[in-house]
Chains A and B, each alone.
Chain A
């Protein structure tokens, strides 16, 4: 169309010129499309990639901040250590376990809550307000509450409730749980699920409230069971919301640091990658090793994310067809 317009508006010219003008017009258009993107892109590149390059450089050094005079080039030594150190490998496993369990649990519970909140009942607004409260508390404060006010074996609420329940039956020897010592990773996971379920719930609730009700009504008229409606109509519509929730949740929970740091200080097998890196930086003061671990995390996450986003996610497939 552009070529045609060019030819019409410039009658005296030969056919070659319009082609070149058309090309430069196309390029100008392409740049006009890119222009709004550039500020954000440039900003992000400068602020995130430059530090990443520096981290990369440091990862090739043998740098312990407590012995600054012994800093030396170390080649791939740090990477070898990262991949063979049993503690760091355990951290990788812990991170994967924690992320998968928390994301799945909060998605499932969030879905259930969203389905419940989708229906009308008395005080629905207030119930929803109560349900999003966990997400709005400052995470480090939430972790402190879980550690000291809820799970503390001596004076936490969980044990207090057990004591009270058992006393109702006249027993003076209630079972006292010590979740932080007996099942530390589960304790961290529970506190994370508690914090992130509201987030998932809101995303899924939005999805539920945006589905077209005509088909649902038609299906109901045809006598379809609620389960069939859910499986064949609701779930497919929710798929991109589930993916969005899962993706965002995974990204944030892989990076989670405050909860592990506060609840267990990485002890008893709960050290995830961010905590392991923190420990390497600040306890061991091994800057080179910690940087190498960071780079390994980035590469690993990019590999996983590439597969996930390209093959699994309908988000991109559907939009790519747009």
Chain B
């Protein structure tokens, strides 16, 4: 399958191959065009297949309720903004903004807190590892093995006793503890990629900790930090169970607000789709904008 003849030197571009890949060292792509097109077609088909529920969700959100619930589904029904108007409270008088702000607050602040705790911890588990760091890693992971449902009762009772029910700060603490193990695991892998030679060289040159952090570690770990932050933000934003149990009138988050549209006694599909679109928008934007960083950051050997 290779288009290179065995005798051709590696850096010669064969005339017949039509290969237009760039020649960056270590990242060469040498696939012939035929494979590319086949791969492209297959990838596009699968991409459309995977994205079709999302596309359908967006389309349904622009239909009226009765149109959304017909069989066969009316793809070409007239578009309307009714569902979005309902979501933004034109008829019900209930604004979604408080819950969106609460979600944003909880997600952003818990992500910041997670990073503040996880990065030093990851440092202590990779660059200057403590003894028995595998045990510590295992402990971090084991905290995620208890189903949240089972732990909800003690949390609820504690919050009630302390008066922290319906309080966004308590939720932030919960989200931090929820995401911390994964953040530590991910950051540890990223920090483990910092080349030892550079660290030792910097130390020999007499650089202090802060300088090492800024000049040696940060450039390597930044994509990783971005990836971790994105993952933590996504998981916090999407969380439903804790929010539903621990919040009430004041601190309700967006997913809880969304479930309020699922009526047992009327048509709700278009409204729910509209709500889902709006509530997923921040995460969608963050994900799309940062997907490069995500891939880069998840690449545990980017510098190899």
Contacts and interface: CB of A to CB of B under 8 A. Distances in A.
Interface of A: 30, 33-37, 39-41, 43-44, 47-52, 54-55, 58, 113, 116-124, 126-142, 144-146, 148-150, 154-157, 159-160, 163-164, 194, 197-198, 202-203, 205-207, 209-214, 217, 220-223, 225-226, 240-241, 244, 248, 251, 254-255, 257-258, 273-274, 277-278, 281, 287, 290-291, 293-295, 297-298, 301-302, 305-306, 309, 316, 319-320, 322
Contact of A52 (B44, B129, B151): B151
Nearest to A115: B39
B46 interface: yes
A52 B147 CA distance: 11
B276 A37 contact: no
Interface stretch (B24-32, B76-84, B85-93): B24-32
Given A139-B238, A145-B53, A58 B141 contact: no
A304 B186 CA distance: 22
10 contacts: A37-B124, A40-B118, A40-B184, A54-B158, A139-B238, A141-B272, A142-B276, A155-B71, A157-B53, A197-B50
A129 B12 CA distance: 34
Interface string B145-183: 111111111110110000000000000011011001110
Contacts of A297: 145-147, 150
Most buried by B among A149, A194, A287: A149
B298 to A, nearest CB: 4
Contacts of A121: 36-37, 39-40, 43
Contacts of B151: 48, 51-52, 55, 294
A210 B304 contact: yes
A291 B150 contact: yes
A224 B44 CA distance: 28
Contacts of A287: 153
A30 B295 CA distance: 35
Contact of A136 (B26, B137, B174, B284): B284
Contacts, number: 329
Given A145-B56, A223-B2, A294-B149, A34 B46 contact: no
Contact of A220 (B2, B145, B174): B2
A142 B56 CA distance: 11
B46 A305 contact: no
Interface of B: 1-2, 4, 6, 10, 21, 26-31, 35-37, 39-40, 42-44, 46-48, 50-51, 53-54, 56-57, 60, 68-73, 116-118, 120-121, 123-125, 128-131, 134, 136-155, 157-158, 173-174, 176-177, 180-182, 184-185, 189, 192, 234, 237-238, 240-241, 254-255, 258-259, 262, 269, 272-273, 275-276, 279-280, 283-284, 286-288, 291, 294-302, 304
Nearest to B43: A116
Nearest to B262: A144
The 5 closest A-B pairs by CB, nearest first: A294-B150, A121-B40, A36-B120, A141-B276, A206-B299
A55 B299 CA distance: 39
A55 B137 CA distance: 23
Contacts of A309: 138, 141
Given A58-B154, A133-B51, A248-B182, 15 more contacts: A40-B184, A47-B177, A58-B153, A121-B39, A123-B44, A127-B40, A131-B47, A138-B238, A145-B53, A149-B57, A207-B299, A210-B301, A212-B304, A291-B150, A295-B150
A320 B299 CA distance: 20
Contact of B27 (A34, A58, A128, A209): A209
A320 B275 CA distance: 48
B159 to A, nearest CB: 11
Contacts of A134: 50-51, 53-54
A163 B71 contact: yes
A309 B135 CA distance: 11
A101 to B, nearest CB: 18
B269 A51 contact: no
A163 B74 CA distance: 12
A181 B39 CA distance: 36
Contacts of A222: 6
A138 B150 contact: no
